[in-house]
Structure 1
Amino acid sequence: MESTSRKLQLKSEVGLLGGVSLIAGVMIGSGIFMSPQTVLLNIGSPGASLVIWACCGLLAMLASLAYAELGTVIRESGGEYIYIIRTSGNLMAFIFAFTSVLVVRPTSMTGLALSFAQNAVAPFYEDCAPPAVVVKSVAAVGLLLLVIVNCLNVRFSIAVTTILMAVKFLALVVISIGGMVLLIQGNTSNLQNAFDGTSQSIGVIGMAFYQCLWSYDGWNNLNSVTEELKRPEFVMSSVGSPGASLIVWAVCGLVTLCAALSYTELGTMYRESGGEFIYVLRIYGPLPAFFLAFTFIIVVKPASIAAKALSFAQYAVAPFYPGCMPPTLVVKCIAVVCILVVAIINMQNVRFAMAIQIIFLVAKVVGLMVIVIGGMVPMIQSGLESLGNLDNAFECTKLGLSPIGMAVYQGLWSFAGWSNLNIVTEELKNPEVNLPRALIIAIPMVTILYLLVNISYLAAMTPREMMVSGAVAVTWGNKVLGSWGWVMSIAAALSSFGSLNGSFFSGGRVCFVAAREGHMPNILAMAHVRHLTPSPALIFTTIISLIVLIPGDFQGIVNFFSFTAWFFYGVTISGLLYLKIKFPDLPRTYTVPIIIPILVLLSAVFLVLAPIIDNPQLEYLYVTLFILSGALIYIPFIHFKLCPHLLDKITVLLQLYLEVAPADKNV
């Protein structure tokens, strides 16, 4: 009998199309459908709101460029965890892994699942809000389904992400075109005096950026392996004017691009999965990396998943509650279902999960194109009179630190996902080429779409209507599409589901890589022997996300997620600057200009400090104490390697029950 030995590794199933889908598909989720309201509410004017959106896109771009360099230097999956452990040491990496696995990642996924559930049940509650139990149940089912998909097959998970990306893209295109038509028809009143009422509070501006950057979440998904039809109202409400709102969206896109390009350099340097964890681990050492992993696993990723599931649930049930908010119980039940479904998908097959991601990305793009086209029709019919809402676009803009910060938080939420490929670097084909290429394709495309969609929203709605809207895309659909307005609710729900799937795909990898580096229990570093998916890590992420989902609300989850995530993004980017200055001769297949990571680092410092300075709250203290509490776990269990014998027995039993085995690096 012939004896052969074969290493158990995660397959390299993610190509360029899958990479673009993983970034754009996660970025285009519930953020652009939900964040605009909060950004506008925080900043106070539509003009300032648009500025925030542009700035968030810029910030996401800058951060992704910095991550691109990290990804080329540290060529391991794991994203921030790997970068932190390689640069800052084990303790910081453990704290990151501890926080990420137990709070950040599950919180993020819970938010996405709730978003999905809310959108999914919305059509069944046309005149009122769906019950919370229904939404959370649907969110839980969604999470479970995605866990199964990601555990079964990587290729299938990527396919799901790609399909959903297409749906989201189409939805945004429709919204953008619809807005352009309205503007051409002369509906410009909502943009007159666009910056009137803009808030001047730094804290409010920071919160606007949080909400906006949530819509760009996902820019770092390639380093680790969106949200767009409802959140515009939050950006608008944060900054107070449509002009400022558009600036926020543009800035968020630019920041996202810069951050993603920075991560690309890290991803080509450290070709390991794990994203920020690997980068911090390799640069700063184990302690900072543990802080990062601890925070991301426990807070950041679960928060992202929970928020996206809630977004899906809200849109899913919206058509069933016309004229009223769906009950919280209904929304949360659907969000639970959503999380469970996504979990199942991701546990079954990587290729299938990516296929779903691609399909849903197409659906998202279609939905956005509907909005864009719908906005263009009135402009064609009546010329620039349709841009009346942009007259005095910056009137009422809020200029404080707090409103700007909150607007950016909401905007950047819509860009979340830019670092996903850095987290799954080991599963990315030809990362030296596909990592920067996917970022350069995905983020500018998403930024342009976001701006067009926001203009389309303003062509059909007044800033006040956006601020009070519970679901901007649905309100826009009812005004522009008439009896077909329910289509936008479905598109938003599919958008959230696709974004949730992408977050699941990358989120489980942070937990997996942290465990592989000894910062989490050994069982979480194992992969299914047949499906070759990190199913224990995905199951763990699902459990934490469901815990976050039950008591959480969407906006609170976004702000909590953004504050924590951008603290560690700043830590990771500082590691890239350290490598560029201290070790300029390290082999790099991609290098980002040093000014880009500097801009991203300054943006991260602003996003972390602005809300605290302008509007200090106990929640920020709790987050800080939680991150530091990781040291209480790191010192006895990681540094001194104290491990109860019972844990070994449990690991063996789970290994047999789940059919998993330790997996080697695929670098």
Structure 2
Amino acid sequence: MDNGNNNHKMGFFGASSYVIGNIIGSGIFITPSSILRCSGSVGVSIIIWIGCAIIAILGSLCYIELGTSIREAGCDFAYICYVKWYPIAFAFMWVSVLMTYPATIAIISETFGQYLIEGLKQVYDIDSNYLQLLQKLFAFSLLLLVMWMNFFSLSKFAAKFQVVATFAKLISCALIIITGFYYYFFRGWSENLEDMWSESKYDTGSLVMAFYGGLWAFSGWDILNYGTGEIKNPKKNVPLALLSGIIVVALIYISINIAYFVALDVDTMKSSNAVAAIFSAKTLGKFSEFIPFLIGILLLGSLNSNLFSGSRYMYAAAKQGHLPACFSCINKATESPRVAVFAQTILAMGISFIGDLDSLIAYCMFGFWAQRIFTLVALLVIRYKMIPVHADAVRMPLWIHYAFLIVTVILVIIPIFQEFHVTALGLILCGIGFVFYYLLIHSDNLPLIFYKINNYTTLVACILFDCLPDVKTITPIVRLKTSSSKILLNVDSQDKLLLEDTSFSSITNITDLSQSTPTETTVPDLHSDEKNIAVRTHSFSRKIW
């Protein structure tokens, strides 16, 4: 690699700041109350935050080896597919689309509703009987607003807004830390820190739920996986940047929590997830009215980025034939996957009714960490079977992989036996994913009605959302019984969809499949790197969608 190229790459400090900026987000303003409810005391909650930082460091080092070894988009999905565990990859893709992403979106929108209510309560007297209704109203209003933004791919507006959200994030964190330490050192507010271990909980189920909350706040430590090639001397700088970046984030998170405890007692913190708003109301006087809205801006930015990534993940899965073709539909003018955006929004609204914030975090994190077990095992299989990977892969000591795998297994297994109610949904969806894989993906003897339904829903989506499908698999020709016998044809993504003189009335006449047979085609290979020699099995190319 020449020096000219290196001049345009990030060094240690650039990579470290990238890690810090990506991790610090809405989580620190959402999960402190959840962690305290699960841990019971100030002391245990602080230990949980430290433990989450250590787990994040171990995980980031493992994922750096994965990211530099397997240079493919798709993260966990691509890593699991690399060892040809296609049913497992499909099942967890299914869980991510139906639960993990929607639950994350629901958590952020619900928290936005709580913070907005706390801000309004400082100005207006709100009847407590209407608080839950108002929270849902604010949450859903925000979701619909962000959905509309993503419908039109307002990239310029979104980019500028993300700058504002980042500024709000930095100001909020700095204000809380400075204010808390001011009241501790200059006002002598220390009574809440005197008995740090009172009412501590040590049962494994509660502790794992507390770790789920902390690890949700640390999400984003795998960011360098997506840009290792843009860093100078990655074998040296990437591990150091991760280590230093996560340590800085941990210090900021712990400082914010200590600031909370300086001003608020344990019972007050447990009572509301909008803890920053309560903190500001007690310490910042008149200025406290602005804090909930400042954090609301931050949450809006976080919600926008999560809906963007969730919808694109769903779109990418549909484009490769793993989901119905309607979810691959994009608007030609804005290139927005409108059907996927709409689906993620509706799923988030629905999942917000099945549990409180603590449960939603648990739903999200259980699926997330269950997938990581298989990702880590796949990495160990690659190491022990010496499966060829990229020549410039960054290798980590095996003990790091084993340590992270043990922690991951503990985080997944304990809730199954002690907090089954929060794992049941993930297990059910994962099981359905396996069934759907063998029925709809692996099978090559499907009733033709499935192809008819796929084309019908795709055409409806095209009309309702003003979009065209973008699929890489070929599905059967479906004849529309119109006067001119025009044809609806799903073809390669470059040709989009051929729709000739169709109208909504013709949708009801999609019946003639007698002339059609499924066309078997190979799924686009995830392993396109010239140094990879893994070849997909032919069985995985049998697609329904």
What TM-score do you get using the length of structure 1 for normalisation? 0.61
1:43 counterpart = 2:39: yes
Q: Alpha carbon RMSD of aligned pairs, Å?
A: 3.4
Task: Note if contact 1:567-1:608 (Cα within 8 Å) is conserved in structure 2.
Answer: yes
Structure 1 residue 363 and structure 2 residue 172: aligned?
A: no
- Are 1:629 and 2:438 counterparts? no
8 Å CA contact 2:228–2:238 kept in 1: the answer is no
**Shift in Å, 1:320:** 4.5
1:432-471 mapped onto 2 (5 Å cutoff): 436=238, 443-471=246-274
Alignment partner of 2:131 out of 323, 327, 334: 327
Alpha-carbon distance in 2 for matches of 1:23, 1:351: 24
1:661 has 2:470 as partner: yes
Report the AA paired with residue 175 of structure 2.
Answer: V
Q: Percent identity?
A: 28
- Secondary structure at the aligned position of 2:389 is classed as coil
Q: Deviations over 1:392-422 (max 9, x none)?
A: 4334422221221121122222223444675
Residue 350 of structure 2 is matched in structure 1 by 547
CA distance in 1 between partners of 2:442 and 2:14 (Å): 38
1:336–1:549 contact (8 Å) kept in structure 2: no
Amino acid in structure 2 at the alignment position of 1:64:
S
**Alignment partners' CA distance in 2, 1:98 and 1:611:** 21
Higher deviation after alignment, 71-80 or 95-104: 71-80
Aligned counterparts of 1:374 and 1:28: Cα–Cα separation in 2? 19
The CA deviation at 1:26 is 6.6
In structure 2, distance between residues paired with 1:335 and 1:549: 10
Give 1 or 2 for the bigger CA radius of gyration. 2
Q: Distance in 2 between matches of 1:478 and 1:650?
A: 51
Runs (5+) with no aligned partner, structure 1: 1-14, 127-318
Report the residue type matching 1:607 in the other structure: L
Residues 442, 346 of structure 1: alpha-carbon distance in 2 compared, 3 angstrom cutoff: farther
CA contact (8 A) 2:99 2:364 kept: no
Alignment equivalent of 1:375, drawn from 156, 159, 180: 180
Q: 1:46 Cα deviation (Å)?
A: 0.9
Give the whole-Å Cα distance in 1 for the aligned partners of 2:116 and 2:228. Answer: 34
The whole-number CA distance in structure 2 between the counterparts of 1:645 and 1:62 is 48
State whether residues 85 and 93 of structure 1, in contact with CA within 8 Å, keep that contact through their aligned partners in structure 2. yes
Q: Which residue in the other structure is 1:489 paired with? A: 292
Native 8 Å contact 1:29 1:498 kept in 2: no
Which residue number in structure 1 is paired with residue 107 of structure 2?
Answer: 111
Query: CA distance change for structure 1 residues 552 and 616 in 2, over 3 Å: closer, same or farther?
Result: closer
* Aligned partner letter, 1:32: I
- Give the match for residue 72 of structure 1: 68
Question: What CA deviation, in whole Å up to 9, does each residue of 1:286-308 have, x standing for no partner?
Answer: xxxxxxxxxxxxxxxxxxxxxxx
State how far apart, in whole Å, the 2-side matches of 1:103 and 1:489 are: 28
AA partner of residue 169 (structure 2): K
User: Residue 356 of structure 1 aligns to which amino acid in structure 2?
Assistant: F
Quick one: structure 1 residues 622 and 541, their matched pair in 2 at CA, closer, same or farther if it must change by over 3 Å? closer
Question: Unpaired segments of 5 or more residues in structure 2?
Answer: 1-9, 472-492, 495-523, 530-545
Q: Distance in 1 between matches of 2:64 and 2:409?
A: 20
Paired residue secondary structure (1:345): helix
More strand by proportion, 1 or 2?
A: 1
How far residue 50 of structure 1 moved from its aligned partner, in angstroms, is: 0.3
Provide the residue aligned with 2:373 in structure 1: 570
3-state DSSP of counterpart to 1:586: coil
Q: Distance in 1 between matches of 2:307 and 2:14?
A: 15
Map of 1:298-377 to 2, 5 A cutoff?
320=124, 327-347=131-151, 348-350=153-155, 352-377=157-182
Change (3 A) 1:432 1:115: same
| Alpha carbons 1:25, 1:360 under 8 Å: kept | no
Contact 2:326 2:461 in 1 (8 A): yes
1:149-548 correspondence to structure 2 within 5 Å:
320=124, 327-347=131-151, 348-350=153-155, 352-381=157-186, 385-419=188-222, 425=226, 430=229, 436=238, 443-525=246-328, 527-548=330-351
Kept after mapping to 2: 8 A contact 1:120/1:490: yes
User: Judging changes above 3 Å, is the alpha-carbon distance between structure 1 residues 650 and 392 closer, same or farther for their aligned structure 2 residues?
Assistant: closer
Deviation at 1:477, TM superposition (A): 0.7
Q: 1:629 to 1:581 in 2, by over 3 A?
A: same
* Structure with more contact order per residue of length (Cα contacts < 8 Å, sep ≥ 6): 1
The CA deviation string for residues 142-172 of structure 1, in whole angstroms up to 9 with x for no partner, is xxxxxxxxxxxxxxxxxxxxxxxxxxxxxxx
Shift of 1:31: 3.0
Query: Residues 436 and 485 (structure 1 numbering): CA distance in 2 closer, same or farther, change over 3 Å?
Result: same
